Structure 1
Amino acid sequence: MFRLLTLTALMAATCYEAHADCSETLVVSVHQSGSSASSDYRLSQFVSESQYNEMKHSAGAEANIYGVPVGANYSDYQRASRNMIRKSGESITRVQADNVFWTGLEGNALDAYKTCILAGRYGLFLYPRSATESEVELVLDYRPTPPAADALKLDWVGRPSPDLPDSIDPNSSIPIILNRPADGDEYLLAVKGGSLSAPAVTVTSYPYPPQPFEPEWKEVRTKLLGGKVNLPDGYEMRDIQYAHVGSSPHTHSFTFDLWGPEGRIRSGLQYVGDNSQPWQESAPINVGGHVFKYGFSNWNDGVGKLHYSWL
């Protein structure tokens, strides 16, 4: 039993090393897909700096990348990602993340992934082509060098289905469709033929995206002309100003400066609302890796309520 577990662990490591670089090509395409995975904040921890820069350039400075505000730079984004994952208690392993990223394998993303896997190599290859919440489609590819005429006999490890092929012809591909395992389970699949071994693939149950995480809202009464509010982690709202703008129904504008431990961060941050507008509708901003949302209500005689959440 010990030898079997050791072999499985070794093959899992081989799987990660063989597919990790190529699976990086999927991170951007899945985020742009608009699927439920594109807002899964658990995947934000696997966004590299180059991918962050590419997606931020396309999305704009106030957008989200995998459900996390982009922030001023990559370090801010990473910090916000860690805070959200830690405080929500939701996380995902890299192997599980790859199983989600496979759901984005289509079109140009699939072509780029296949090119990365094969990339001028010869031998035996096993790699995912697409996935759903219930199934994973793999491809077995045999590219011999020097050229071979005979079919390659196959020996499977971690065989989850009796329908796996026993051999493969030279320069051919075989699609393999497998059911995902039960909730919380996974299996590792590998194949070898003669002296050739394909990198292993780990198929997990589908890790459904969690509900969007919303930190608790807090409420503070504050002066609306030159007021100041202390926020967590050494941050402050300063010089809160209020003005009545527009015609009836009354529209109101609130502005303030945001300060942090290193000094002023943003000037003239604004909130505009009217008496019928829910204050929860404010968009989140990333402040040094913290996610900050705010709104005002019950303004009267120079005093009002500030509502805010901080992550």
Structure 2
Amino acid sequence: MTTELREAAEKDRFAAETGRFRRELLAHCYRMAGSAHEAEDLVQETYLRAWRSYAGFEGRASIRSWLYTIATNVCLTAVERRRMRVLPSGLREPCDDPDRPPSPAGPGEVSWLGPLPDRWIAPDDPAAAVVERESVRLALVVALQQLPARQRAILILRDVLAFTAPETARILGTTTAAVKSGLQRARARLADRDPAPRQTLEPADPRARALLEGYIAAFERSDARLLEHVLRTDATLEATPFRDWYAGRENCLRLLENSVLGAPGEWRLIATAANGQPAAAVYRRDTAGALRAHGIVVLTPTATGVSRVIEFHDPTLVGTFGFPELS
């Protein structure tokens, strides 16, 4: 067999053994980094490093554990050298003046958390899909970013991915005792931030779909009264890259009426899903009348209405979620 044929056969074997883990590694890197775009880059780097060392892989651990070792350490290197990703609600108290437009952060001043398309990580197994969605809920991912990087890795490996303490220690190159101690501290810090979903509805739940449809209709019709029926009385509203955010349905509605909704037909929203939650790709009509990509909005639906609205004002996200420019 020629060198070229041997290398081709080796690449085929590598792809066959490692390719099935790409989606779950993408979710892992997203939990660590808080950005879909960065997660893509981290997974790419993981596979490049894995291929370079594949010839020396001796099977002492499973392929999955070996890949997670590489991915976790790639993530740790990346997140330890940049500032923590946040949402506006992590920067300050809610704004008490919805009659003025929100103030944006300066360029490069804040590293914003981003949404994750459900279609990137959806497992074929319905039961596994539910677990996967729960583990990338925005409230949890936000809380994870508050943890020191190694504590974050320990908690994800142990509580989300169900690696044992000895396996986690091998992945991180530390001791089992250190893993147990780090996990205890991470759980305590996470509990203080209360990231658990509060009766959050699954995206496929008819009540969740109805809330998303109502939100879309309200924006497309510029109908604040319809929004009043969608939002809970304690709803919150925030949008990157703005520092200000709003608490309480009355404040949210006043801000939207004064600064956002505009005239009927100014907005177009297309239903999708992000982070295991109902979402929509958002387009806005420009001064020439053409619809342009605006960003992604993610809702937290409950049995009593939408409790949280987060809009990620980044036109590139619309393409990330698989939607085209419209005109």
Q: Shorter-chain TM-score category?
A: under 0.3
Greater helix share, 1 or 2? Answer: 2
**TM-score calculated relative to the size of structure 1:** 0.25
Greater strand share, 1 or 2? Answer: 1
**TM-score calculated relative to the size of structure 2:** 0.24
Larger Rg: 1
Question: Comparing both chains, which one has the higher relative contact order based on Cα–Cα distances under 8 Å and sequence gaps of 6 or more?
Answer: 2
